[in-house]
Amino acid sequence: MREIVSAADGRQLTVETSGDPHGKAVFLLHGTPGSRLGPAPRGVMLYQQGVRLIAYDRPGYGSSDRLAHRTVADVAVDVAAIADALGVDRFAVVGRSGGGPHALACAAMLPDRVTRAAALVSLAPQEAEGLDWFAGMSPSNIAEYTTAAGGPERLAASLEPRSQEIRADPVRLLTQLKWELTGPDRRVVSDAGVRAMLVRNYREALRTSADGWIDDAVAFCNPWGFDPADISVPVLLWHGEEDVFSPVSHSRWLANRIPGVTAVLEPDAAHFTALRVLPDILTWLLTDRPWAA
């Protein structure tokens, strides 16, 4: 079910709920670029798990209004507003790829509302002490984040034309990524259903502009607005060791920073392999048991 929710400052956020309307609430925070139509378990599976899945377009993506100069921490205010509008008091949160830092922000900023949090193939803060942030990262992401460090105007000059091309032909982004995919990712993306879902996701993400993509990248390259060390709720980090889009060293750094974290580092997995573990992640989020997948 799709609906429009007003943020605290009056911005409009586009929200999609699926699964069991009376189930336990889980926020699913999409990747970069991405939208509420991104990777998620099927509705029937969510219903069987008793999950009420809540996804939304981050500011500047899809139909959600832009929030210029946003930080990663700003996500917590929007998630809280959506939860209030939907009548949800307590909830779990999971973010994949670019959604990972945002899931950690919710865990840090909303400790009285977030029950558990999971960050899959997440980035670490760029100022992370002792971390070579670009080591093992794909050339395209190095170029994007290097440009983002110069500010939104500089990044817009490169991402806006690229966004227009992808908007006209969303398969183009998959084609661009193809040359950087490692073996595990090629196996996942070779599935026709996965490719069709990713195309829908990218089309909706960039339907009106590249603003969300630009603002995500700039936010990752600036202070996040919180310290992962301050997170007090249970956190699960999942990462494929062959990931070249957000290298596994980022989750290793986060694992050494977040108190009591559970870190799952899979040797024969990469970035898009995270799509396949989402059902197991949801099971962990909704219980008080340790990771056992």
Instruction: Quote the DSSP letter at residue 1.
Output: -
Question: For residue 8, with 0-12 CB atoms within 10 Å meaning exposed, 13-18 middle and 19 or more buried, which class applies?
Answer: exposed
> Tell me, what's the pLDDT at 187?
93
> Tell me, what's the pLDDT at 137?
97
| pTM of the full structure | 0.96
- Give Cα separations from 281 to 71, 156, 264, 276 (angstroms): 26, 34, 11, 10
> Tell me, what's the pLDDT at 218?
96
Q: What is the DSSP string of 18-47?
A: EE-TTSEEEEEE--SS--TTSS---HHHHH
3-state secondary structure (DSSP) of residue 170: coil
E strand or H helix that includes residue 84? helix 75-85
- Give Cα separations from 167 to 14, 173, 179 (angstroms): 19, 9, 20
With beta carbons less than 8 A apart as the criterion, state whether 107 and 231 touch: yes
> Tell me, what's the pLDDT at 292?
79
Please say whether the dihedral angle defined by the alpha carbons of residues 40, 236, 276 and 31, taken in this order, is positive or negative.
Answer: positive
> Tell me, what's the pLDDT at 150?
86
Tell me the helices (H) and strands (E) count for the chain, helix number first.
11, 8
Backbone angles phi, psi at 141, to 5 degrees: -70, -35
Between helix 211-220 and helix 152-168 the angle, nearest 10°, is: 140
> Tell me, what's the pLDDT at 1?
85
- Give Cα separations from 52 to 44, 91, 143, 183, 238 (angstroms): 11, 10, 38, 33, 22
With beta carbons less than 8 A apart as the criterion, state whether 145 and 213 touch: no
With beta carbons less than 8 A apart as the criterion, state whether 272 and 185 touch: yes
Q: Which residue, among 185, 198, 208, has the nearest Cα to 38 in the 3D structure?
A: 198
With beta carbons less than 8 A apart as the criterion, state whether 231 and 259 touch: yes
Give the domains, in start order, of the chain with CATH numbers: 2-285 (3.40.50.1820)
12 has which bridge partners?
A: 6
With beta carbons less than 8 A apart as the criterion, state whether 78 and 229 touch: no
* Residues 219, 84: Cα–Cα separation, whole Å: 25
2 has which bridge partners?
A: 16
3-state secondary structure (DSSP) of residue 234: coil
Q: Which residue, among 272, 235, 233, has the nearest Cα to 256 in the 3D structure?
A: 235
Please state the length of the chain: 293
Full pLDDT tens readout for the chain, 293 residues? 899 999 999 999 999 999 999 999 999 999 999 999 999 988 888 999 999 999 999 999 999 999 999 999 999 999 999 999 999 999 999 999 999 999 999 999 999 999 999 999 999 999 999 999 999 999 999 999 999 988 899 999 999 998 988 888 888 777 878 889 999 999 999 999 999 999 999 999 999 999 999 999 999 999 999 999 999 999 999 999 999 999 999 999 999 999 999 999 999 999 999 999 999 999 999 988 888 76
